[in-house]
Amino acid sequence: MGNKTPLYQCHLDAGAKIVDFAGWDMPINYGSQIAEHEAVRGDAGMFDVSHMTVVDVSGGAAKSYLQYLLGNDVARLKITGKALYSCMLNEQGGVIDDLIVYYLRDNFYRLVINSATREKDLAWLDRQAQGFAGLVIKFREDIAILAVQGPNARSKAIALFDDYQQQSLRQLARFQAAEFDDCFVGRTGYTGEDGFEIMMLAERIPNFWERSLAAGITACGLGARDTLRLEAGMNLYGADMDETTSPLVSGLGWTLAMDDDREFIGKKALLQQRAAGIQQSFVGLLLLDKGVLRNHLRVVTALGDGEITSGSYSPTLQQSIAMARVPAGTAGQVEVEVRNKMLKAEVVKLPFVREGKSMLNHEGNHQ
């Protein structure tokens, strides 16, 4: 028996197949993973992501603490509610976790971290807090999170809020959150579609789930969440990067703010890696032969071997796709070893899909 989110009974009522995910009993699908994937690409779907952890960081040193803790720079956050995606690195420049940080007001930030890394993250946050006076790190177990995603997700979800909130949510910019008395809504997500991530007190979320279902938002499981994020070219912690891999070989160089004099954990190692030359690149693969690419398969290129970090089937493209770490400079066609056979694949730019549309065959896409 694993941990259960406040929506566990709602999942059972909706016919979910429940699996263990990092110690949590979570819905993998409610019948068809592909149908759920298509609901998000074409209409609106929702995911219970309450297994993720909300951490509020406040106090006079909150900003300087997060500037030291994170690879991206929270000083970039100047507007209330603005969100930033960042890696949290160890001294070697490996990724402890990836997270979203929201700037709520001066000296008050909200982090959303992964569930599988919760314990080590919290220990790391505490350990690094030494020397930052007056810092308050609050682990919000009372908050549940529902992601509502898809081209119609915003309009369907907005109708579930009160008049004042509706007005505010209609104007909410991308990667921006609005904080209300009874909930917190970010225009963020992990699917490559527009939508919201909605946080509210755990006891209120079952009612909101039921009203969302009634509004025609499809219940979607973690299975669809994975194929959606893969199509969107978004990294999955533990598969695409971990403590042994640098953001510089994980397609996450864009999340690093390292060209000014700010000191942050891992910066020295990253600068050394960059000076020594980055030997690997992180790319998309499109399988040209029949079959399905899976995590850890060997990629054979003209420049040496690489490895698939996450692979699956793309319901949108109806082909198998993957993200892979390959020798720097790899382009064109490569081979992937699948059950002792060599299958042809093509190196492509990420993402594969954005807002319901294939990004393949656009000019300049193929590398």
Residues at the interface with another protein (CB under 8 A):
17, 28-29, 32-34, 223, 227, 290-292, 294, 312-313, 315, 320, 339
Q: Which is nearer to another protein, 38 or 194 (CB)?
A: 38
Q: How far is the CB of 225 from another protein (least distance, A)?
A: 12
Phi and psi torsions of 182, nearest 5°? -115, 5
Q: How far is the CB of 59 from another protein (least distance, A)?
A: 44
| Calpha distance 345→308 (Å, rounded) | 12
Q: Which is nearer to another protein, 45 or 223 (CB)?
A: 223
Helix residue ranges, H only, 5-159: 8-13, 33-42, 62-69, 118-128, 153-158
Q: How far is the CB of 338 from another protein (least distance, A)?
A: 9
3-state secondary structure of 85: strand
Q: How far is the CB of 34 from another protein (least distance, A)?
A: 4
| Calpha distance 68→262 (Å, rounded) | 8
Q: How far is the CB of 314 from another protein (least distance, A)?
A: 9
Q: Which is nearer to another protein, 30 or 109 (CB)?
A: 30
Q: How far is the CB of 291 from another protein (least distance, A)?
A: 6
- Asked if 159 contacts 215 with a C-beta cutoff of 8 angstroms, the reply is yes
CA 119, chain centre distance (Å): 18
Q: Which is nearer to another protein, 17 or 120 (CB)?
A: 17
Q: Which is nearer to another protein, 36 or 97 (CB)?
A: 36
| Calpha distance 263→142 (Å, rounded) | 33
Q: Which is nearer to another protein, 247 or 311 (CB)?
A: 311
Bridge-based pairing state of the strands 333-338 and 341-348: antiparallel
Q: How far is the CB of 106 from another protein (least distance, A)?
A: 45
* Torsion angle defined by CA atoms of residues 74, 75, 76 and 81, in that order, rounded to the nearest 10 degrees: 60
Q: Which is nearer to another protein, 228 or 270 (CB)?
A: 228
DSSP letters of 199-210? EEEGGGHHHHHH
Q: Which secondary structure element, helix H or strand E, spans residue 165, and what is its range?
A: helix 163-170
Burial of 302 from C-beta contacts in 10 A (0-12 / 13-18 / 19+): exposed
Q: How far is the CB of 28 from another protein (least distance, A)?
A: 8
| Calpha distance 130→278 (Å, rounded) | 33
Q: Which is nearer to another protein, 29 or 281 (CB)?
A: 29
Please state at what angle helix 222-231 crosses helix 33-42, rounded to 10 degrees: 50
